């Protein structure tokens, strides 16, 4: 890919898209001016010109695949032979799959909780200090970089050298300076999962922080003033007034991070590729998409399992928006 | 009053602790990418700013460079590079006794010749008899090396490791994958907000539902569609237009949702007045909605662009992993496997991949945050 072809690609890609809207709308106006179609037909037709590309893409890229994945999960590896719940029975007895489920549950427990907690504490502290904006900016920065980039950053932090050598990983350098043996962190089962989760917490805390920060500004000042006059301590104000007030925001943040964590893939693939008991569903699915020539049945099944985790949040979201539309 | 000050100090310290913990990993990577690759492999990045003690081996010049003065033979030269900034502390002439001689102390060789080395690397080798050696004499030095920064890693990574190419590939993926959904979804969002048509509410509910559908649900059927289409036209199944469409599909729900929330919040009187004046929806969209929606477009653009730039999964599945198509994240992941111990390549490569997101982040942070907050807390 050279720079000239990059420009050509970008230009044609967007031009085609823009031309569709422009030409089809002009054609409609032209047709109505020439009275080939009636004025009333024109206003009936126009919405479909507006929505057609999006709806077609929605159907091809989201709706059809979702249904098809559900179907494939009941079919064999090539997708041609119906096998009933055989894939599901296989999964229930597969140690690798069970490990992935357990790990995903661990991720679901740790990452949203810690990210939300740190995010709230930082947002609260930063609001009180003059350099709070700078602090928030720094904490938020990991949100901008890729999971793979974050993986490299943390792999460097976790780097391991033999006990005799100088450690170049920051974590082991600290451990050694405190007088302990250096550890190959990524290879210690159970703990390595926590070290991987730390990366995600490091990234998502920024997200939680900015959302909390916006919500904190909505708390009525008078309420806090009143509590202070009554002699409540900062800690009490935080736990008794602020946290209850932010209940809905906490729930929103928790759902966003939960959805992200259910799909966690890049970090695992880059750091361990599921070795040393760090397998997760999304990585296992990617693996099965290509393992042994690809197994669409088992791959689809794993996608379905991830989807099942998302469904309660999806229903809650739709309800919430229906209420919003009414009010 | 005292208690207040104490609380204030505690708050400052606690926040400082968070900030330091959050920034150190990235800072370490950043500093390391400018370090000499040999130092990088043997010492922690936090020692970058220290003066290090290094052991090195050099050779003197050969007999051809000797000068005769009053019956004495000399070889003069400098062991060190002019700009190295190193200072020699001690030296030796055999590998067993590398630190035998201090600076300005003469080393006497078996053949009675004398070598004298000064701190800046200058040496004088003096002998009564003419020199005959054809290879230079080995000299072992211990020197203090000042902090040294280099761009060599960047040169290597960009031009030899294929990161430069991957950078262009990622741009080729990311720009259309951001602009196309922006155009398509802004029309869609407008229609969902201000036009009447059959199935509008269902369509919006569908968008809200699609917001959370995991990408994984779509991969297997889509891959087989791509393979079929590729086979039908007898072309490769994986291509740039294919990956743009995939990103458009996966970004469609969130882009539409954010834009729709914004466009719906515009005052309805304005749009109705324009309708009464006989403007078509297309006119309204071009003349009124687009100019007013620039901040919303900026937010959505940044979110989608960063999402695509940082994506790994879609790039792995819908592009071939060949030099002309591989994207940065996939390239980095490949390097993590194949060059896992070459930290100069990994740190530099990772930093190159982060330049664009970090630039966008610092330049347009306001829009980025606005988009994120609007997408999560109802807009």
C-alpha dihedral (B135, B138, B144, B148), degrees to nearest 10: 40
* Average pLDDT over every residue of B305-317: 93
Do the beta carbons of residue B310 and residue B358 sit within 8 Å?
no
Reference B187, options B319, B286, B74, B265; nearest CA is B286
Decide if pLDDT at B237 tops 90. no
Q: Do B44 and A55 touch (CB under 8 A)?
A: no
N-to-C CA span, chain B: 42
User: The whole model's pTM is what?
Assistant: 0.87
Decide if pLDDT at B377 tops 50. no
Decide if pLDDT at B378 tops 50. no
**Cα R_g (chain B), whole angstroms:** 33
CB nearest to B180's CB, from A13, A271, A314:
A13
CA angle at B270 for the pair B264 and B273, rounded to the nearest 5°: 130
Find all residues with CB under 8 Å of B54, minimum gap 6, and list them: B86, B142, B143, B144, B145
* Average pLDDT over every residue of B71-93: 81
pLDDT band with cut points at 50, 70 and 90 for residue B112: confident
Q: Which residues of B touch A259 (CB under 8 A)?
A: 212, 214
Which residue matches tokens 């962190």?
Answer: A185
Q: What does the alpha-carbon distance between residue B153 and residue B365 come to, in Å, rounded to a whole number? A: 29
pLDDT band with cut points at 50, 70 and 90 for residue B167: very high
Please spell the DSSP secondary structure of B53-111, one letter per residue: EEEEEEE---GGG-EEETTEEEEEEESS-TT---EEEEEESSSTTTT-EETTPPEE-TT
| DSSP-derived 3-state class of residue B138 | strand
Question: What percentage of chain A's residues is helix, strand, coil (to nearest 5)?
Answer: 75, 0, 20
Q: Is B68 exposed, middle or buried (0-12, 13-18, 19+ CB in 10 A)?
A: exposed
How do beta strands B87-92 and B101-102 pair? antiparallel
Decide if pLDDT at B123 tops 50. yes
Domain segments of chain B as ranges: 52-145, 154-376
Q: Which residues of B touch A214 (CB under 8 A)?
A: 373, 377
N-to-C CA span, chain A: 51
Question: Residue B114 forms beta bridges with which residues?
Answer: B108, B126
The H or E element spanning position A42 is helix A39-58
Q: Which residues of A touch B17 (CB under 8 A)?
A: none
Q: What does the alpha-carbon distance between residue B143 and residue B125 come to, in Å, rounded to a whole number? A: 20
**Cα R_g (chain A), whole angstroms:** 26
Question: Residue B87 forms beta bridges with which residues?
Answer: B144
Interval B347-363: pLDDT, tens = 999 999 999 999 998 88
Q: Which residues of B touch A69 (CB under 8 A)?
A: 217-218, 220-221
Tell me if chain A has a CB within 8 Å of the CB of B307: no
pLDDT at B247: 95
pLDDT band with cut points at 50, 70 and 90 for residue B203: very high
Q: What does the alpha-carbon distance between residue B374 and residue B156 come to, in Å, rounded to a whole number? A: 42
Q: Which two tokens stand for residue B184?
A: 């398509």
Interval B255-291: pLDDT, tens = 999 999 889 888 888 888 988 888 888 889 988 899 9
Q: What does the alpha-carbon distance between residue B286 and residue B302 come to, in Å, rounded to a whole number? A: 22
- Distance to chain B for A97, nearest Cα, Å: 16
The H or E element spanning position B115 is strand B114-117
pLDDT at B85: 75
Closest residue of chain B to A121, computed from CA coordinates = B15
- Distance to chain A for B138, nearest Cα, Å: 27
CA B138 to centroid of chain Cα atoms: 41
Domain segments of chain A as ranges: 3-72, 87-326
Reference B25, options A139, A115, A135; nearest CA is A139
The second-level CATH assignment, the architecture, of B154-376 is Orthogonal Bundle (1.10)
Question: Residue B141 forms beta bridges with which residues?
Answer: B56, B91
Q: What does the alpha-carbon distance between residue B291 and residue B311 come to, in Å, rounded to a whole number? A: 30
Tell me if chain A has a CB within 8 Å of the CB of B168: yes
Sign of CA dihedral B304, B309, B311, B316: positive
pLDDT at B311: 94
Q: Which two tokens stand for residue B122?
A: 């200058």
Q: Do A149 and B206 touch (CB under 8 A)?
A: no
Q: Which residues of A touch B28 (CB under 8 A)?
A: 153, 156-157, 170
Q: Which residues of B touch A129 (CB under 8 A)?
A: 11-12, 15
Out of 2.40.110.20, 3.40.50.1100, 1.10.3720.10, 3.40.50.720, which CATH number does the structure's domain A87-326 have? 1.10.3720.10
Please spell the DSSP secondary structure of A237-305, one letter per residue: HIIIIIHHHTHHHHHHHHHHHHHHHHT--HHHHHHTTTTTTT--HHHHHHHHHHGGG--HHHHHHHHHH
pLDDT at A103: 95
Q: Which two tokens stand for residue B277?
A: 């004046």
Q: Which residues of chain A have pLDDT under 70?
A: 1, 39
Do the beta carbons of residue B252 and residue B206 sit within 8 Å?
no
Q: What is the ipTM, given to two decimal places?
A: 0.91
- Distance to chain A for B187, nearest Cα, Å: 5
Sequence-separated contacts (24+) of B109-115 with Cβ below 8 Å: B115/B60, B115/B139
Of residues B25 and B94, more confidence is placed in B25
* Maximum average pLDDT range among B57-66, B112-121, B128-137, B150-159: B150-159
Q: Phi first, then psi: what are they for A217, rounded to 5°?
A: -65, -20
- Number of residues that this document lists for chain B: 379
pLDDT band with cut points at 50, 70 and 90 for residue B1: low
- What's the whole-number average pLDDT of chain B? 87
């Amino acid at each position: 890919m050279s720079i000239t072809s990059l420009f050509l690609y970008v230009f044609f890609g967007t031009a085609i898209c823009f031309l569709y809207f422009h030409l089809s709308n002009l054609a409609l106006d032209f047709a109505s001016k020439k009275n080939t179609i009636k004025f009333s037909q024109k206003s009936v037709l126009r919405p479909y010109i507006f929505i057609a590309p999006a709806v077609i893409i929605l159907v091809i890229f989201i709706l059809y695949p979702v249904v098809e994945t559900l179907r494939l999960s009941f079919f064999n590896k090539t997708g041609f032979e119906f096998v009933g719940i055989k894939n599901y029975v296989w999964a229930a007895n597969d140690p690798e799959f069970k490990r992935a489920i357990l790990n995903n549950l661990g991720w679901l427990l740790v990452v949203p909780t810690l990210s939300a907690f740190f995010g709230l504490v930082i947002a609260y502290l930063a609001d009180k200090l003059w350099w709070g904006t700078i602090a928030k900016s720094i904490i938020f920065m990991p949100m901008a970089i890729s999971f793979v980039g974050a993986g490299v950053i943390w792999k460097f932090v976790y780097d391991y050298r033999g006990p005799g050598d100088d450690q170049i990983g920051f974590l082991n350098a600290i451990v050694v300076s405190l007088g302990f043996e250096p550890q190959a962190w990524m290879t210690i089962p159970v703990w390595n999962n926590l070290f991987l989760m730390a990366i995600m917490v490091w990234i998502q805390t920024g997200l939680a922080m900015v959302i909390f920060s916006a919500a904190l500004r909505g708390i009525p000042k008078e309420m806090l003033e009143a509590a202070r006059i009554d002699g409540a301590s900062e800690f009490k104000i935080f736990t008794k007034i602020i946290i209850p007030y932010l209940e809905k925001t906490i729930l929103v943040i928790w759902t966003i991070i939960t959805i992200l964590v259910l799909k966690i893939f890049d970090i695992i693939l880059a750091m361990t590729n599921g070795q040393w008991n760090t397998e997760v569903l999304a990585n296992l699915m990617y693996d099965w998409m290509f393992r042994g020539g690809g197994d669409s049945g088992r791959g689809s099944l794993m996608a379905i399992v991830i989807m099942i985790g998302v469904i309660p949040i999806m229903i809650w979201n739709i309800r919430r928006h229906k209420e919003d539309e009414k009010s | 009053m005292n208690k207040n000050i104490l609380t204030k100090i505690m708050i400052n310290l606690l926040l400082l602790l968070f900030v330091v913990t959050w920034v150190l990993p990235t800072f370490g990577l950043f500093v390391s990418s400018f370090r000499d690759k040999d130092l990088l492999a043997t010492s922690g990045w936090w020692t970058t700013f220290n003066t290090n003690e290094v052991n090195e081996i050099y050779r003197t010049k050969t007999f051809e460079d000797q000068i005769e003065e009053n019956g004495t033979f000399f070889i003069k030269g400098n062991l060190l590079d002019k700009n190295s900034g190193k200072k020699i502390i001690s030296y030796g002439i055999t590998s067993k006794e590398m630190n035998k001689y201090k600076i300005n102390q003469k080393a006497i060789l078996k053949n009675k010749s004398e070598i004298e080395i000064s701190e800046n690397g200058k040496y004088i080798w003096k002998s009564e008899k003419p020199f005959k050696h054809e290879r230079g004499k080995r000299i072992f030095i211990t020197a203090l090396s000042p902090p040294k920064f280099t761009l060599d890693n960047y040169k290597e990574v960009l031009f030899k490791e294929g990161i430069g190419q991957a950078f262009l590939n990622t741009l080729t993926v990311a720009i259309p994958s951001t602009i196309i959904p922006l155009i398509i979804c802004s029309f869609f969002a407008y229609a969902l907000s201000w036009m009447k048509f059959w199935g509008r509410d269902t369509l919006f509910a569908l968008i809200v539902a699609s917001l959370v559908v995991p990408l994984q649900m779509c991969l297997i059927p889509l891959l087989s569609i791509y393979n079929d289409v590729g086979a039908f036209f007898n072309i490769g199944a994986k291509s740039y237009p294919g990956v743009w469409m995939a990103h458009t599909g996966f970004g469609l729900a969130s882009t539409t949702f954010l834009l729709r929330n914004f466009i719906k919040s515009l005052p309805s009187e304005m749009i109705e007045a324009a309708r009464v004046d006989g403007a078509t929806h297309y006119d309204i969209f071009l003349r009124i909605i687009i100019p007013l929606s620039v901040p919303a477009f900026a937010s959505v653009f940044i979110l989608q662009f960063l999402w695509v730039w940082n994506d790994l999964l879609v790039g792995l599945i819908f592009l071939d992993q060949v030099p002309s198509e591989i994207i940065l994240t996939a390239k980095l992941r490949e390097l993590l496997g194949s060059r896992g111990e070459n930290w100069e390549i990994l740190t530099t490569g990772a930093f190159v991949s982060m330049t664009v997101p970090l630039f966008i982040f610092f330049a347009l942070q306001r829009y980025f945050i606005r988009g994120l907050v609007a997408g999560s807390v109802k807009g």
